[in-house]
Amino acid sequence: MIALALFFLWLFFNAKITLELVVIGAILSVALAWFVQRFITPGLTMKRQWFIMKQLPGYLRFVWLLIKEITLANFTVMQMILTDRDIVVPKLTVFHTKLQTKAARVALADCITLTPGTITVHLHEDEYLVHCLDESLEGGLVNSEFEKRLLIKEADWIESGVS
């Protein structure tokens, strides 16, 4: 499956299809896919690859949510900076998550850090320590849309045995 994705990428970036490009692309794609599966991700079985491909629309929706939240947070931070508001009260806050897997917890921590105005300072088990630029930003941390979507993804991972 990796070889197929690499092959289509090869054809897309070459912008034209000739016999030589197809043959070279096929050889390079298969060789690179073999190398990746053998040395870089040995646990990436065909079953796991198929699971990832089936989940791709959900992952793309999650990336869209992340972009949307980053944009909204940018406007919130700009509003804090550009208005006459004199007092900004930074706050360190602790909250717990229902996420069970390490991958989902780290993904949530990364989403919090990527969103302007908040930084994940520490993550231990299900406990997050987050620095908020202003205490008004604290409300969006607990039961956030990120956490809800990750809980759904995590349930899929656990159900399929791919986690």
Quick one: 22 and 55 in the same domain? no
Quick one: 36 and 50 in the same domain? no
Quick one: 77 and 134 in the same domain? yes
Query: Domain limits at 32?
Result: 2-40
Quick one: 72 and 12 in the same domain? no
The rounded distance, in Å, linking the Cα atoms of 77 and 56 is 31
Quick one: 110 and 155 in the same domain? yes
Give the pLDDT confidence of 127-161 residue by residue, as tens digits. 999 999 999 899 889 899 999 999 999 998 888 77
CB contact at 8 A, 142 and 95: yes
Quick one: 89 and 150 in the same domain? yes
Alpha helices in the chain (DSSP H): 2-14, 19-35, 46-82, 102-114, 145-160
Give the alpha-carbon dihedral of 98, 104, 108, 111, to 10 degrees. Answer: -160
This prediction has a pTM of 0.78
Give the pLDDT confidence of 83-103 residue by residue, as tens digits. 877 788 899 999 999 999 999
Quick one: 79 and 156 in the same domain? yes
Amino acid, single-letter form, for residue 73 = A
Count of domains in the chain? 2
Quick one: 69 and 145 in the same domain? yes
Quick one: 90 and 12 in the same domain? no
Q: Which two tokens stand for residue 138?
A: 């604290």
